[in-house]
A and B are shown apart, each in its own frame.
Chain A
Amino acid sequence: MTSPADLSVVERELSPEEEQFNDLIAKDSRIEPRDWMPDAYRKTLIRQISQHAHSEIIGMQPESNWITRAPSLKRKAILMAKVQDEAGHGLYLYSAAQTLGISREEMMQQLIEGRARYSSIFNYTTPTWADMGAIGWLVDGAAICNQVPLCRASYGPYGRAMVRICKEESFHQRQGFEILLELMQGTPAQREMAQDAVNRWYWPSLMMFGPPDDQSPNSAQSMAWNIKRFSNDELRQRFVGMLVPQAEVLGVTLPDPNLRFNEETGEYDMSEIDWTEFNEVLAGRGPANAERLRRRREAHEDGAWVREAAHEYARKQAERALAASGAVA
């Protein structure tokens, strides 16, 4: 692995803080909020963690679409628990980002003004109940592959938030798998619904790992800083390797006629990913980009008076407490 020192090509004296930082990274230890860190490291983390938080928050929408219509009370309870977990993940992650010197308000503002990114996968729509299964199995499955290595990310608050998040994500993936399994063992209409959802979510879930390694500009630096541990293509291979046996159990077909295990390379051969679609969705032209932002903005604006009330109430209480302590003194 490339050590961070190799990247600083300029030959100069390192400050003691810089040396300590490099030393911590070289030893694969954690960087904590009060440690000195290079500006670029801080910025990279703020960008990555806030994007991750936004993805959790926007990601609540496609699933909350089905809470009121879940077809059994058990499924309703599980779906509510899952979407609520996502709000919780957003909270842990915003808190982790806050330790780097940005406020939640600022991040929220960036999101609703369309200045921040979130995972493009949530710009797809959820027309059927089977989408709840496909999101859990494929989208959360891909998220787990991406996120488990982040539990060892060099920035302490991020890594610790990820440990908890990954634990819950594995429950999410399992419930998605169970939804699909139940559908595949059900009526012909249910089986058709499940296969259709897998067809629609398979490719977008593979795109969640990001562009191929040779086109991923930020990866090298993030790997040097121990934020990223595996390359996009490595993770994508692992994900597909995980899906294939599970698809067999489910009885669904993964929509890639060229997908097969290559004994020689030890990897899965697959069709080219159509990155045009990915780039279109990324550019804001996906099926639900506008709707997702509109809804987030609406919730934020509709709730403004409530947040102001809480703020004002706290201010009055503090004022009263101060007056009371003044009276006592």
Chain B
Amino acid sequence: MARGESRAVRWTQIAVALVFLALTLALPLALVFHEAVAKGLAAYWAAITEPDALSAARLTLLIAGIVVPVNLVFGVSAAWCISKFDFPGRNLLLTLIDLPFAVSPVISGMIFVLLFGAHGWLGPWLLEHDITIIFAVPGMVLATTFVTAPFIARELIPLMQEQGSEEEEAAIVLGATGWQTFRRVTLPNIKWGLLYGLILCNARAMGEFGAVSVVSGHIRGETNTLPLHVEILYNEYAFAASFAVASVLTLLALVTLALKTAVEWQQRRSVTHEAGIAPSLERIAA
């Protein structure tokens, strides 16, 4: 290699980075699995197939199933208007999209209580019409949507900015409709980034704890998600069971990461394969 670093320097750098990652990431991960099987595999299986755990898993999937598509629509719209157009207030809008990243989960939960709680802005009206939002599934969906809102938009915006809008403009000039242009030109260009955003959004939606905890009401078998169930078990001194459920979430995280790596790999391949404008135009003509 012509990159200058001597072998010694190179391996020292790698070693330091690996030790750091081992301490911060690998050890906690190993611990989760170590504790999860502390009471044996039978206990592990029992903990993750127990009715409360299953109902928590169902609720987690349901919430993610609602939140991810909603954020998909939002993410694509936000990325489209921010990356393809120049308008006053763009930076402000971008900051607002980022805001849920930086808002404390505690506040993210609290704001929905302040809005929909019995003493919140809309509380009395909801009570009159017998609509329950807070301490029920709708509130948990809202809080999760809030927390995960930036993920897809944030993934797409830099990508679409980098790609510019020449291809789309050419398509429009050639007479394609807006929807055709989006589907045939934009979508193929952003599909891997979009998928990556979807995966991260989904992971976060399944793993959110702080905000959901505030609005859940903690009704067993009804408004507990998997992360909340982990906490419940931990508080019942069922440590092994708690880590067993946590390990399921960790496995989900690992599957997510594997998917993500596969996606990135595809992305890199597709970038080298189809460079430039021609293939997209061919697709329009087709």
Are A and B associated in one complex?
no
Question: Chain B interface (Cβ within 8 Å of chain A)?
Answer: none
